[in-house]
Structure 1
Amino acid sequence: MSEASTVLSDSSIQAARELRVLVSRLRRRFLEASDNLELTPSQLSVLSRLKRGDATASEIAAAERVRPQAIATHLGILIERGFVERRPDPKDGRRQLVSLTDAGLELMAGRAQAGQEWLASALDQKYTEAERQTVLAALDLLERLGPQ
């Protein structure tokens, strides 16, 4: 244990632990709520990354912290399934950019919609209006943890 962690309050340590566990559980439920079309978590991660914009295979590999060979395998499957495409980089013809196809964009939008619908339904069924307002207030507080 580092010296910095010894000065943390017990409530901060408990909240961090419980929030991390909750985020992991919610992430799994989001994944379960949408049709993954038999794509692996790594392939879905590549698609999610490409939602942010085009990238080279090397950039994707670096961002995913895997070897370029692993990304090449994932891209091959995603290209074959029609979710991504390669095209020459207009700024550097030696490089290839990878981008989502219309089918890839549709898949990712559908996944996001399915996850949001599941969560809204769960919140509606399991919480009272007052409790949902408490959740909204807590989310405002948690927003401070994000990038400024």
Structure 2
Amino acid sequence: MNAGSMNRQAAVPAEGVSDSAARAAHDLRVVFSRLRRRIREVARDEDLTPSQVSALTLVGKHGAATASALSSAEGVRPQSMAATLAALERHGLIRRTPDPEDGRRQLVTLTDAGRARVDGDRELRGEWLTHAFQDRCSEEERQTVLDALAVLERLTRP
């Protein structure tokens, strides 16, 4: 499917916004959502929920954190994060240890199995995407993506 064949019904521009800006914003969200789902399918996440994968990835990315910090970062209720962390602990992917600065709190860290899982999943996802670009895109298309990424990078700057 190409960008020209996507559903445009949600790309109604606000006043003062060009049709192309509205369409680009809509289509980009749709494509990124599909790409994110596809990349998640590649990893071996069948035994974890999306919330568990997200929390595991967050701990892997940022290191030791409190459950409160994780729930805030994920935008979920502390009770939801507690259930997610309990499941990850049952899988042997995280451990909780007392915070050396405040013994009332616990820090969540990855176990060796959790680190291997995060690193392995990242590697699988990266390999899938690399091969998808190699097998499904021409050199010219890959260069177009690189050029578009430079534009998207500019959008993320303050």
TM-score normalized with structure 2 length: 0.86
For structure 1, which segment, 17-26 or 56-65, has the greater mean C-alpha deviation from structure 2 after superposition? 56-65
Aligned residue number for residue 99 of structure 2? 89
Aligned mates of 1:146, 1:44 — CA distance in 2:
25
1:29 aligns with 2:38: yes
Aligned mates of 2:115, 2:91 — CA distance in 1:
13
> After the TM superposition, which segments of 4 or more aligned residues of structure 1 sit over 6 Å from their partners?
none
Aligned residue number for residue 78 of structure 1? 88
Aligned residue number for residue 21 of structure 2? 12
- 1:50-89, aligned counterparts within 5 Å? 50-51=59-60, 52-89=62-99
- 1:40-59, aligned counterparts within 5 Å? 40-51=49-60, 52-59=62-69
Aligned mates of 1:72, 1:147 — CA distance in 2:
34
* Larger relative contact order (Cα-Cα within 8 Å, sequence gap ≥ 6): 1
Q: How many residues align?
A: 145
TM-score normalized with structure 1 length: 0.91
Deviations 1:63-99 (A, max 9, x none): 2222222211111111111110001111111111111
Aligned mates of 2:101, 2:73 — CA distance in 1:
21
Secondary structure of the 1:131 match is helix
Deviation of residue 5 (structure 1)? 3.1
Aligned mates of 2:36, 2:141 — CA distance in 1:
21
Identical positions, percent: 49
The amino acid that maps onto 1:44 is: V
- 1:115-126, aligned counterparts within 5 Å? 115-126=125-136
The amino acid that maps onto 1:27 is: R
1:103 aligns with 2:113: yes
What residue ranges of structure 1 are gaps of 5+ in the alignment? none
